[in-house]
Amino acid sequence: MKPSTNPFSGSSFWSFWRDTRFLQALAQAIFLLLVFIATRWLIGNLLEALDSRGLSLSFAFLQRTAGFGIGEGLTFERTDSFWYAYVVGVVNTLRVIVVGLGLATIVGIFAGIALLSPNWLLRSIVSAYVEVMRNTPLLVQLFFLYFGIILKLPSLQERITFGSFSLSQRGFFFPRLEPMQSFTLWIVVVAASLLAAIVIFRVLYQRRLLDGVETRPGLWALLPLLGLPALTWLLLPEAPLSLDRPQLDGLRMVGGAQLSPEFAGILLGLVIYTGAFIADIVRSGILAVPKGQTEAATALGLSKFEVLRLVILPQALRVIIPPLTNQYLNLAKNSSLAVGVGYPDLYNVSSTIFNQSGQAVQVITLMMSTYLLISLAISIVMNAINSRLKIVER
Amino acid sequence: MSEPIIICRDVHKWFGNFHAVRGIDMQVEKGEVVVIFGPSGSGKSTFIRTINRLEEHQRGQIIVDGIELTHDVRNIAAIRSEIGMVFQQFNLFPHLSVLSNVTMAPIWVRKWPKQKAEEVAMEILTRVGIPEQAEKYPGQLSGGQQQRVAIARALAMQPKIMLFDEPTSALDPEMIKEVLDVMTELARSGMTMLVVTHEMGFARAVANRMYFFDEGLVVESGTPDDIFKNPQEDRTKLFLSQILSH
Amino acid sequence: MSEPIIICRDVHKWFGNFHAVRGIDMQVEKGEVVVIFGPSGSGKSTFIRTINRLEEHQRGQIIVDGIELTHDVRNIAAIRSEIGMVFQQFNLFPHLSVLSNVTMAPIWVRKWPKQKAEEVAMEILTRVGIPEQAEKYPGQLSGGQQQRVAIARALAMQPKIMLFDEPTSALDPEMIKEVLDVMTELARSGMTMLVVTHEMGFARAVANRMYFFDEGLVVESGTPDDIFKNPQEDRTKLFLSQILSH
Amino acid sequence: MSAEIKAHPGMEKPPTTSVGVLGWLHQNLFSSLLNSVLTLISAGILYLLGRGLVKWALTEARWGVITSNIKVLAWGRYPNEEAWRLGISLLIILAMGLLTWALRRGSLTQNARRALLTVWVLSPVAIVILIHGITLPTIATITNNLGYYIYRPELMPLLGEAWRASAALLVLAFVAGLTCGSVSKRTERLLSLAPLLALFLFTLPLGLLANGSLFGFDLPRLLPQTFALLVGFFSGMTVGRALTSIAAIRWLRIGSWVAVLPGLLILLTTFDVGVESVAPVEVLQIIEPNIWSGMMLTILLAVVSIVASFPIGVLLALGRRSSLPVVKGFSVLFIEVVRGVPLITILFMAQVMLPLFLPLELTVDRVIRAMVGMTLFTAAYLAEIVRGGLQAVRNEQVEAARALGLSEMLVTGLIVLPQALRAVIPPIMGQFVSIFKDTTLVTIVGLLDLLAVGQSVIKQREFLGAVREVYLFAGVFYFVISYAMSVASRRLERQLGVTEES
Amino acid sequence: QPAEPEVREVKVVETQEVRVVETQEVQVNVPVELQMESERLAAIKANGVLRCGVNSGVPGFGFLNEEGDFVGFDVDFCRALATAIFNNPDAVEFRPLTAAERFTALQTNEIDVLIRNTTWTFTRDVELGTDFGPTTFYDGQGMMVRRDSGFGSLNDMDGATVCVLSGTTTELNLADAFASRGISYTPLVFDKSDETAAAYDQGRCDGLTSDKSQLAGLKTTLSDPAAHLILPETMSKEPLGPVWAHGDQQWGDMVRWVVNGLMIAEEKGITAANVAEKAAGAPEDPEVARLLGLEGEYGQLLGLDPDFMVNVISAVGNYGEIYERHLGPDGTDIPREGSFNALASDGGLIYPQPWR
Ligand SMILES: Nc1ncnc2c1ncn2[C@@H]1O[C@H](COP(=O)(O)OP(=O)(O)OP(=O)(O)O)[C@@H](O)[C@H]1O
Ligand SMILES: Nc1ncnc2c1ncn2[C@@H]1O[C@H](COP(=O)(O)OP(=O)(O)OP(=O)(O)O)[C@@H](O)[C@H]1O
Ligand SMILES: [Mg+2]
Ligand SMILES: [Mg+2]
């Protein structure tokens, strides 16, 4: 028996252009070529453009004197370099991101739980909050918050005060604890009493376990923990900590600590906005926990709060983390809107540096890489948490 | 006759306008095993869940171990910690190991030190036949093993009463037996038990009394002998013939 | 003996380091029905899938209707449009109606005008017994109906060869027959068929030859009579006794 | 639950505490002590906030800033007398939405589907033309320009434009050759030469005029054009002959004419030679993108980036799953980088860095640049969403399609994509909502969207400092549209959930 | 003063003439100047509009009025250029630009000329690839404060918060000014002047710094203009004028001479009202005759109509009229008398190069 056509015809090397492997390689080669041509064209244009106005691609300009001032963050002089200005911007951005992540999470968890509350009124108010925040642009919210609310607060002279706390359109001022000379001694005493308290607690606790008598370990441990530091405080000639109260000095408040309107604006804006998204995530995370879990836990006699803490939240967390990671990334990226309210963050400072130096390519590259790094860091941390929390399956 | 440990008088429950439990009277003595059965939707689960207030009854009275179930949170808490409950779907906590599942309630509700709770837990796990699974997670166990962990979890609170809501109906046939064995052993040891089940072999063997529910009412009740050999009501006969024909 | 329409010579296939198909020789004549059977994991599916290059064979030669399967795209396309395939899991396109499922390939591959394709499709749907389901979606059909649509979909391309990979093993018993009937009718009409199946009744009735696979090799082959009445190899005997005992 | 079905005789009415107003109050507001406290606190907050807001809105707020500037807010610097064009565009968008919505419900016939698709493809073009305006070359412009291009390229206003003539001739001749080579009938062959012929008939007089006399042609000058003509025609003919057997040749022919003609027009007529009388006719007054502002810009930015990002996103998603490592690597890099940086940095880059990467003589309008930035940004996010959908399509579907003989392209287009996209409609809608909100960021890079216009109307004497009014108004605008989109998406999701499985 | 080297003009004249001769040979309806003039001018003519980068937020200089039209001192120079080219003051496409964008816009060809309060500085001229035209307004950076703050001079402002626009020379001068006085301040930086002014108006800052001319304009947009004052100190020199991209000398020449022409017109008393009349007659002053295209081929040399200055002046008026219209008492009210912006003959710095 012989096949009617030679089975080898059509398969020999000369029809290589119909060979799947060749076609794949060809497609890639063409793609690479196109990318290469496009890149070359773009780079060529860039070089020409830079050349025509005498710019270079070097990052050396970062060493030059900045010449401008930065209102907030690390101390910055006009004689410092562009590079240091950039660092100040990065630190300011990180400040917003870190504090914002924490607060947004807290707001989100509470609001998320409230969304599931049996209380109709609370639920409605919170869901209105969530819907409004989710469906209006962050920038509009920021402008409203900053120009419409914060800047409409009374002026510094007419600030609202509660004791040493005060609130005005120049910011929120509050006292700060200032360590004095005797602070070192006192802190040693505190550490020692903490140690003592731990030892007492463990000893008494063991006794309770072994002998079955109620020894009240907590109570006995509290005594040295609070008593010793208090005693030394009183005995020391000078209080180890003094309260540094903010005071009006001419145009500004000196002493104490303060929250600038810009920082407060971007922070609050991000927290309220991201909090709404997190609330929704928390809500669906909790809903994803089967009802039987609550019932089983309730039937065991756990209180509502314990059910939530021991059974619902740990399980909901596993559902929540991936979308939460996204929201964290969004918050980090949205922190760049700080420029809208004049907070000198990474984007704001970069934009100034660009304007003063004219070095568009370098500044943008630097800025984008920094944001990429921040995003990457958040992803890595969250992925690590996520893989540690995986539920063990069969 | 000793003191009844559960007293239900004219218990009613509505879901919206739907009248799911329509006036149940029941008294359970200490050490008694009561089996409840009846067609789907007849209010068995709803009734048994009112006893530890997973559902709130809206009329009538429920008194458990001398404490009446009212809106008083303290009473509710007290009653719940006296009653263990086992569900059809096991409802183990998937994020906790078997041991933690069992020790959770003693530690948080009874405030036992962890060590004691674990010792007791291991004892109970041995009793239900799975001490070697203590460190595993629920997801790694078979259905029968999971239900036994669920029983152990309820027992760890040293309850006076155990409620079972169709504990075997989500299980494959081979596993049903291992769970029923544990329950039989428990009944023999003198535990007061309220069991919703259609395992008539189990009912015949250990039940003191049986209640047949339909449309939220007790249609008929009596000893297993009465019920199996001499049912009074047509509905009972029909239902029994259906489930025994399998 | 007529011209072989499928020639396989020493076909090998590895998955990574695992040698799944270990040298199969097979020739199928036009109009023949070949049944392949064997234990799970013996490489039946893998082998049959190499024939229309859903898997790429790594050694040996496969020649279908005079065209050798190589990396040449034109050959692959040509061969695929000559071969229809039916899968265990039906694999209908859930987003398309039954009719569109059937007409898709004729329209896009054969470039038939839509009208012609639909006429042919309706004919074939009538042939497999479900013309009235044409406008429904696969999700609305029973398993047996779905599998018949899958057969119709393959037939619509008017293939010279049909491959079946356990077409009935995902079906409930009452549906198996309706699919086997369609297949039997197809075999009778002279279609060349390669069928992986454990339906020995079907094999006995329509197969011209049977191949017993184990561990990637053909252990034994012959007419159904040879295989059923007089198997040579112990493994064949053992396997047949197992599946026939059901 | 179906209480009616299950209701049995002798059922009693529930106690009043569980139904009716009282029951509702009890269950929803005062079911426990904690709940009652929460209710009171919420009510208190609501009262304080609500009272403040209502009082402010009714007595203090100067809503005049909105009412008297409503046109400015709506279309900003777009000429008032041309605003009707925006109205019509809006109507087109609405009609399109309604049409789609209405047709979605019934199962579509093939024709309806095709009509819908056509509408979807054509309407953006129509809208762009409507809003941007259009000039059309008249016969006079064409002949005038072609004449100069062909016969006196050195007269072109910008040096270096002369190649246009040769390039245009080459392409035109190629297509004509292709047609000529691949049709069988003699008349058709002749017909395919008509465009070339027409070109000469139209331009010859001008060529003569330009060169003074009939015989005054400067041959060396014409050489490149002649060369282009011959090379184009004969290579086209060869290719056409070779492809005659291919089934798709008819479409190839039609397609190439359709593709080439407008291209040639652009190539040859964008620069007029400065003679008034033959300048292109402005059919609809051209309104440059940098004039586009207000709500109109907001909506345009959103619509353009949504429409344009979709195909790019799908391609990127396919690229990311491609078996070709180069394509895959490129897609992954693009997607991850874009998703890792804030939109504002991308817009910033589009505004200040992109121009550096383009040739000096090519300037792209700021608004267009912002659109490009937003499109690329959205595309990366869409790509990830679509990838999720692609993963949800089981591999068996692909195998079944391959076994039918469908080519890889058809497998993707007919089987994989439809299933994948259907699965991800809800997240895609979510992305659209978020891109709509994100259009506000163009304010920061200096474009005049609704928010920016809002900021500038606060500078008017009589409305100085009416900050809250303007931002509230903007907020309500964004909210209404976003919320409508979310509601629509939720409904769509439910509908799909119902129809998909059975 | 940047005087133009004579030599270059001569050279230009020569080449232009040669080309003119050649074009006349060609008997087609291509305008004569087409081949001779600057590439940019040709492109502008082809486009039919002049693309002019302006400010959209500084009253008096560049501002969007209620009708959505651009008005202001800078804007009128754009119109003047458009009139010179097209004899149509409306043939301008205004591109409102932020401070950050303006040089990029110029460098990337997005605009033909930038007339937007741009200070002529060394780096901008030398490093950014831009060229500066004659100064149209001599400005200096100032500081606006609230009257009730009691500040009489910069020296009182230790510890103040100052609102400033991002990426401007202003931002740098501010730092210099406070540093040189040895006092501290906190900058609050915004990207857009709208936001900067809004923040100051709402009291977020003690001072708002910008060029004094802008401050005068911004002051009128504050809620209570009378409650603010501009401190006497000038922190910097800010010569403002048109800017164009480096590389097209002819185009630069055109811009420069249109501006100069407007100044000369003021010197010579030619106004929008009387220009037509003067052009019709035979002015005694030869410079006026040259300016109005009655003598010489000045327009053609620039690639423009011979009487282009007549069109320009009748459309926008002379330098003084433009100033009066936008910055005079009816406008933002920046006194001209005694300032640098007076004509040289009045003791100011407006001193146009001769038209010959
Ligand atoms: N949460 C609820 N809301 C509304 N109706 C409910 C609810 N729970 C139960 N029902 C209804 O009450 C009736 C009794 O339900 P129940 O679960 O007690 O029946 P059952 O006898 O346990 O049935 P099964 O054997 O199916 O478990 C049913 O009709 C059920 O639909
Ligand atoms: N894609 C794959 N990657 C790796 N191994 C595979 C793959 N497909 C199949 N195999 C392995 O190859 C062997 C043969 O598989 P095949 O599916 O051909 O068996 P079969 O005879 O069809 O079995 P069954 O009756 O279960 O369908 C099996 O061991 C299987 O695990
Ligand atoms: Mg039940
Ligand atoms: Mg198989």
pLDDT per residue over A169-196, tens digit each? 888 888 888 888 888 888 898 899 999 9
Higher pLDDT, A309 or D14: A309
Ligand 1, atom 6, lies closest to the CA of: B15
Bin D202: left if φ > 0, else alpha if -120 < ψ < 50, else beta.
alpha
Count how many domains chain A has: 1
Task: Count CB-CB contacts under 10 A for residue A132.
Answer: 16
Report if residue A220 sits inside a domain. no
Cβ of residue E145 closer than 8 Å to a chain A Cβ: no
Which ligand 2 atom sits closest to the C-alpha of C43?
Answer: 18
**From the CA of C200, how many Å to the nearest CA of chain D?**
26
d(CA E166, CA A352): 6
User: Looking at residues E149-167, what average pLDDT do you find?
Assistant: 86
Report if residue A216 sits inside a domain. no
E with D: 3 or more CB pairs under 8 Å? yes
Nearest to A352 among E166, E179, E199 (CB): E166
Query: Is the same domain home to D469 and D487?
Result: yes
Average pLDDT, rounded, for chain C: 90
Average pLDDT, rounded, for chain B: 90
Residues of C with CB under 8 A from a CB of D: 52, 54, 77, 80-81, 83-85, 87, 89, 91-95, 97, 104-105, 108-109, 111, 114, 137, 139-140, 150, 153-154, 157
Query: Is the same domain home to D386 and D428?
Result: yes
pLDDT per residue over B192-230, tens digit each? 999 999 889 999 999 999 999 999 999 999 999 999 988
Query: Is the same domain home to D278 and D297?
Result: no
Tell me which H or E stretch contains D126.
Answer: helix D110-132
Residues in chain C: 246
Query: Is the same domain home to D146 and D224?
Result: yes
Cβ of residue E87 closer than 8 Å to a chain A Cβ: no
Report if residue D125 sits inside a domain. no
Last residue of a domain, one of D264, D284, D304: D284
User: Which pLDDT score is estimated for D138?
Assistant: 63
Report if residue A46 sits inside a domain. no
Cβ of residue E340 closer than 8 Å to a chain A Cβ: no
Report if residue A54 sits inside a domain. no
Report if residue D119 sits inside a domain. no
Query: Is the same domain home to D153 and D296?
Result: no
In a mutagenesis test of the C interface, which of A19, A22, A23, A24 is the best target, namely the one with the most C β-carbons within 10 Å? A19
d(CA B214, CA B20): 10
Nearest to A336 among D325, D345, D478 (CB): D345
C-alpha distances in Å from residue E177, one per residue of A79, E173, E205: 13, 6, 17
In a mutagenesis test of the D interface, which of C93, C102, C115, C147 is the best target, namely the one with the most D β-carbons within 10 Å? C93
Ligand number nearest CA of B13 is: 1
Cβ of residue A117 closer than 8 Å to a chain D Cβ: yes
User: Which pLDDT score is estimated for C68?
Assistant: 86
- Cβ distance A334 to D305 under 8 Å? no
Average pLDDT, rounded, for chain E: 82
d(CA E142, CA E231): 7
Q: Which DSSP string corresponds to A46-61?
A: HHHHHHHTT--S-SGG
The crossing angle, in degrees rounded to 10, of helices D366-392 and D325-340 is 120
B182-190: Cβ within 8 A, 24+ apart: B182/B127, B182/B128, B182/B129, B182/B148, B182/B151, B183/B151, B185/B127, B186/B151, B186/B155, B186/B162, B187/B33, B190/B31
Is the predicted pLDDT of residue D501 greater than 70, yes or no?
no
pLDDT per residue over D30-65, tens digit each? 777 778 888 888 889 889 888 888 888 888 878 888
Rg (CA), chain B: 18
Last residue of a domain, one of D229, D261, D284: D284
In which band, very low, low, confident or very high, does the pLDDT at D178 lie, cut at 50, 70 and 90?
A: confident
Is the predicted pLDDT of residue C117 greater than 50, yes or no?
yes
Q: Whole-model pTM?
A: 0.81
CATH of the domain at D387: 1.10.3720.10
- Cβ distance D134 to D85 under 8 Å? no
In which band, very low, low, confident or very high, does the pLDDT at A222 lie, cut at 50, 70 and 90?
A: confident
Report if residue A177 sits inside a domain. no
Q: Kindly list the protein residues that place their beta carbon closer than 5 angstroms to ligand 4, a single-atom ion.
A: C 45
Count how many domains chain D has: 2
Report if residue A176 sits inside a domain. no
Which ligand 2 atom sits closest to the C-alpha of C216?
Answer: 14
Tell me which residue range forms the domain holding A267.
82-152+261-389
Name every chain E residue with its beta carbon within 8 A of the beta carbon of D274. Answer: 30-31, 34, 45-46
Report if residue D54 sits inside a domain. no
- Cβ distance D236 to D173 under 8 Å? yes
Is the predicted pLDDT of residue D245 greater than 70, yes or no?
no
Average pLDDT, rounded, for chain D: 79
> Cα A137 to the chain's mean position, in Å?
19
Q: In a mutational test of the pocket of ligand 1, which residue from B11, B13, B18 has the highest number of ligand atoms less than 8 Å from its CB?
A: B18
Report if residue D185 sits inside a domain. yes
Ligand 2 centroid to Cα of residue C151, in Å, is: 23
pLDDT per residue over C156-182, tens digit each? 999 999 999 999 888 887 788 889 999
Report if residue D49 sits inside a domain. no
- Cβ distance E192 to A73 under 8 Å? no
Cβ of residue E174 closer than 8 Å to a chain A Cβ: yes
Find the residues whose C-beta lies inside 6 A of ligand 1: B 15, 18, 20, 40-46; D 1, 6
Query: Is the same domain home to D149 and D241?
Result: yes
**From the CA of E353, how many Å to the nearest CA of chain A?**
28
User: Looking at residues C31-56, what average pLDDT do you find?
Assistant: 92
Question: Can you tell me whether residue E304 is helix, strand or coil?
Answer: coil
Across the interface, whether the CB atoms of D15 and B22 are under 8 A apart is answered no
Report if residue A35 sits inside a domain. no
Strand partners, D88: none
Report if residue A169 sits inside a domain. no
Across the interface, whether the CB atoms of A15 and C76 are under 8 A apart is answered no
In a mutagenesis test of the B interface, which of A201, A295, A300 is the best target, namely the one with the most B β-carbons within 10 Å? A300
Query: Is the same domain home to D439 and D354?
Result: yes
Tell me which residue range forms the domain holding D231.
134-284
Nearest to A394 among B95, B104, B140 (CB): B140
Name every chain A residue with its beta carbon within 8 A of the beta carbon of C4. Answer: 1, 3
Interface of A with D in 336-355 (CB under 8 A): 336-337, 339-340, 347, 351, 354
User: Looking at residues C107-123, what average pLDDT do you find?
Assistant: 90
Half-sphere exposure of D183 (CA within 13 A, CB side): 19
Ligand 2, atom 25, lies closest to the CA of: C40
The answer to which of D181-190, D228-237, E345-354 has the lowest mean pLDDT is D181-190
d(CA D364, CA D356): 11
Last residue of a domain, one of D267, D284, D301: D284
Ligand number nearest CA of C56 is: 2
CATH of the domain at A306: 1.10.3720.10
Residues of A with CB under 8 A from a CB of C: 1, 3-5, 7-8, 10-11, 15, 18-23
d(CA D234, CA A181): 97
Q: In a mutational test of the pocket of ligand 2, which residue from C46, C50, C166, C242 has the highest number of ligand atoms less than 8 Å from its CB?
A: C46
Report if residue D332 sits inside a domain. yes
Give the residue on A whose Cα is nearest the Cα of E102. A355
In which band, very low, low, confident or very high, does the pLDDT at D276 lie, cut at 50, 70 and 90?
A: very low
Nearest to D489 by CA among D418, D439, D421, D432: D432
Report if residue D375 sits inside a domain. yes
Q: In a mutational test of the pocket of ligand 2, which residue from C12, C37, C40 has the highest number of ligand atoms less than 8 Å from its CB?
A: C40
Across the interface, whether the CB atoms of A10 and C74 are under 8 A apart is answered yes
Name every chain D residue with its beta carbon within 8 A of the beta carbon of E201. Answer: 464-465
User: Which pLDDT score is estimated for D498?
Assistant: 45
Query: Is the same domain home to D279 and D296?
Result: no
Q: Which DSSP string corresponds to C128-140?
A: TT-GGGTTS-GGG
Q: ∠ CA(A386), CA(A387), CA(A388), 5° rounding?
A: 90
The answer to which of C51-55, D20-24, D355-359, E221-225 has the lowest mean pLDDT is D20-24
Query: Is the same domain home to D148 and D274?
Result: yes
Ligand number nearest CA of B20 is: 1
Give the residue on A whose Cα is nearest the Cα of D362. A45
Report if residue D211 sits inside a domain. yes
Q: Which DSSP string corresponds to A116-178?
A: T-S-HHHHHHHHHHHHHHHTS-HHHHHHIIIIIIGGGSPPSTT-EEETTEEEETTEEEE-EEE
In which band, very low, low, confident or very high, does the pLDDT at D106 lie, cut at 50, 70 and 90?
A: low
Ligand 3 centroid to Cα of residue B86, in Å, is: 12
